[in-house]
Amino acid sequence: MVIPSINCPDLQCAQERIRISERFFPFGKGWVHLDVADGKFTFNKTWGEPEEWRRLQTRLNLEVHLMGEEPEHVIDRWLKVGAKRIVVHLETMNDEDFIVSLSREYGASAMLAISPETPVEALRLYFGKFSEFQILAVQPGLPGQSFLPISLDKIHFLREFLPNATIEVDGGVNLETGARCLNSGANILVSASYIFGSENPAQAYNTLSALEQQ
């Protein structure tokens, strides 16, 4: 699965990219990934207001990537506006039981992410609580960064120990790195710059999605 990523400074940018993304899915059953960076855990701050999200009125399933401190304080706001998956970072998470249980209460899932500098072995403690994991292949926050090859080793590690897990890769994903991630065992590719930086975003999305059939 390929999920277009919305990494925007304001609501107008987010709305434009949502409308573009809707064209990728003629039956309205696709996903969109929203980066919410708080400017503390990350170098930059992005748009991310749950109440404003509701006004966008999209049928796309929402995955929210909370790149911020104390995600427990905002998770309920995103679940209330319909988020189907919440991505939280091991580096900022304080109460994994709360995050998992609240997500389930709303019929959503919780995904655990790690940043590049965090050893993948740190995820072992959470194998029994999470079944979905994200390998962030760039530094948290800024779009347009280059893919870090160490991420491939992390994917291999997770797939070896968790053959049935969902493994998502986010950051620096293009045709070359996307193929390497899938070959390493990833299930989901998240891409922003490759898709929205293209002259034809729909074609870029479809080309990236075609990697799954190769």
Q: Please confirm, yes or no, whether 38 is among the known catalytic residues.
A: no
| Structural contact between residues 103 and 82, judged by C-beta atoms closer than 8 angstroms | no
* C-alpha dihedral, 64 to 67 to 70 to 76, nearest 10°: -10
Q: Please confirm, yes or no, whether 10 is among the known catalytic residues.
A: no
Q: Quick count: other Cβ atoms within 10 Å of Cβ 90?
A: 18
Distance, CA of 199 to CA of 114 (rounded, Å): 31
Residues in the chain: 214
Sorted by sequence, the CB contacts under 8 Å of residue 46 that are 6+ apart come out as 7, 8, 9, 35, 36, 37, 141
Which residues form the catalytic set?
35, 170
